[in-house]
Chains A and B, each alone.
Chain A
Amino acid sequence: MAHRPGFVLEVDRSTPPTLFHHGEGFRLEKLPIGSRVVYPSEALSPLKHPDAAIREALLHPVDMEPLPALLKPGMKLTIAFDDVSLPLPKMRRPDVRQRVIEAVLDLAAEAGVDDVVLIAALALHRRMTEAELRHAVGDRVYDAFAPRGLLYNHDAEDPDNLAFLGETDKGEEVEINKRAAESDLLVYVNINLVSMDGGWKSTATGLASYRSLRHHHNVRTMQHSRSFMDQHRSELHSSNWRMGEVLRKSGIKVFQIETTLNNDTFPKPFDFLQKREWDWTARDRASYVAVSKSLERTPSRLKRSIFQSIEAPHQMTGVNAGDVEAVHKLTTAKVFEQQLVPVSGQTDILTMGLPYICPYNVHSIMNPILVMCLGLGYFFNLYRGKPLVREGGVLIMSHPTPWEFHPVHHPSYIDFFEQVLADTTDPIEIEKTYEKSFAEDEWYRHLYRTSYAYHGVHPFYMWYWGAHALQHLGGVIVVGGDPKAVRRLGFKPASTLRDALEMAEDVVGRHPSITHLHNPPLLVADVS
Chain B
Amino acid sequence: MRARLPRAGFPYRAPTTPRGIEPLPEEPRWGSDYETDWARRTPARYARFFIVEGPMRALVRAIASPTRRGMDRLDSVRGPVIFAANHHSHVDTPLLLTSIPERWRHRTVVAAAADYFFTNRYTSVASALAMGAVPIERTRVTRRSADELAGLIAQGWSLLIFPEGGRSPDGWGQGHRGGAAYLSSRAGVPVVPIHLEGTGRIFAKGDKRVRPGSTTVTFGAPLSPEPRESSTRFAARIEAAVAALADEARTDWWSARRRAHAGATPALTGPETTSWRRAWALGDRRSRRRRDRPRWPDLG
Residues of A whose CB lies within 8 Å of any CB of B are: 48-51, 93-94, 98, 102, 105-106, 109-110, 112, 114, 116, 138-141, 143-145
**How many B residues face the partner with a CB closer than 8 A?**
16
Residues of A within 8 A of B262 (CB): 112
- Docked CA distance A357–B253 (Å): 34
Complex interface: stretch among B57-65, B68-76, B189-197, B235-243 = B68-76
Q: Interface on chain B toward A: helix, strand, loop, or mixed SS?
A: helix
Convert B257-289 into 0s and 1s, putting 1 for each residue whose CB lies closer than 8 angstroms to a CB of A: 110111000000000000000000000000000
Given known A-B contacts A110-B261, A112-B262, A140 and B253 have beta carbons under 8 A apart: yes
Most buried by B among A48, A50, A109, A110: A109
Asked if residues A106 and B72 are in contact (CB atoms below 8 Å), the reply is: no
B residues in contact with A102, CB < 8 Å: 253
> B221 contacts which chain A residues (CB < 8 A)?
51
Asked if B254 and A93 sit within 8 Å, CB to CB, the answer is no
CB nearest to B258 among chain A residues? A109
Given A106-B257, A109-B261; A140-B248 close (CB under 8 Å):
yes
Q: Is the CB of B76 within 8 A of A145?
A: no
Whether A49 and B254, one on each chain, are in contact in the complex, defined by CB atoms closer than 8 angstroms, is no
Instruction: Establish whether residues A140 and B76, one from each chain, have CB atoms under 8 Å apart when the complex forms.
Output: no
Query: Taking A49-B76, A112-B261 as contacts, is the C-beta distance between A139 and B69 under 8 angstroms?
Result: yes
In the complex where A109-B261, A110-B261, A112-B261 touch, is A144 in contact with B72 (Cβ < 8 A)?
no
Q: Determine if A93 and B72 form an interchain contact, defined as CB atoms under 8 angstroms apart.
A: yes
| Further contacts, 14 of them, CB under 8 A, given A109-B254, A109-B258 | A51-B76, A93-B72, A93-B75, A109-B260, A109-B261, A110-B261, A112-B258, A112-B261, A116-B254, A140-B254, A143-B252, A143-B253, A144-B254, A145-B254
Question: Chain B residue with minimal CB distance to A139?
Answer: B69
Q: In the A-B complex, list the 6 residue pairs whose CB atoms are closest, starting with the nearest.
A: A144-B254, A140-B253, A144-B252, A94-B72, A109-B257, A110-B261
Tell me, rounded to whole Å, the shortest Cβ–Cβ distance linking A315 to chain B.
9
Chain B: residues with CB nearer than 8 A to chain A?
69-70, 72, 75-76, 221, 248, 252-255, 257-258, 260-262
Judging by beta carbons under 8 Å apart, are A105 and B257 in contact?
Answer: yes
Q: B72: shortest Cβ distance to chain A, in Å?
A: 4
Complex Cα distance, B75 from A456, in Å, reads 40
Shortest Cβ distance from A68 into chain B, in angstroms? Answer: 11
Q: List 27 A-B contacts (CB under 8 A).
A: A49-B76, A50-B76, A51-B76, A51-B221, A93-B72, A93-B75, A94-B72, A102-B253, A105-B254, A105-B257, A106-B261, A109-B254, A109-B258, A109-B260, A109-B261, A110-B261, A112-B261, A112-B262, A116-B254, A139-B69, A140-B248, A140-B252, A140-B253, A140-B254, A141-B253, A144-B252, A145-B254
Q: Which single residue of chain B is at the shortest CB-CB distance from A110?
A: B261
Contact yes or no, A94 B254, CB < 8 A = no
Please measure, in the bound complex, the distance between the C-alpha atom of A176 and the C-alpha atom of B75, giving whole angstroms. Answer: 36
CB distance from A105 to the nearest CB of B (A): 6
Please measure, in the bound complex, the distance between the C-alpha atom of A359 and the C-alpha atom of B73, giving whole angstroms. 28
Q: Report if A144-B255 is in contact (Cβ < 8 Å); known contacts: A109-B261, A112-B261.
A: yes
Task: Establish whether residues B75 and A140, one from each chain, have CB atoms under 8 Å apart when the complex forms.
Answer: no
The chain B residue sitting closest to A93, CB to CB, is B72
Which of chain B's residues have a CB closer than 8 A to the CB of A139? 69
A98 touches B72 (CB 8 A): yes
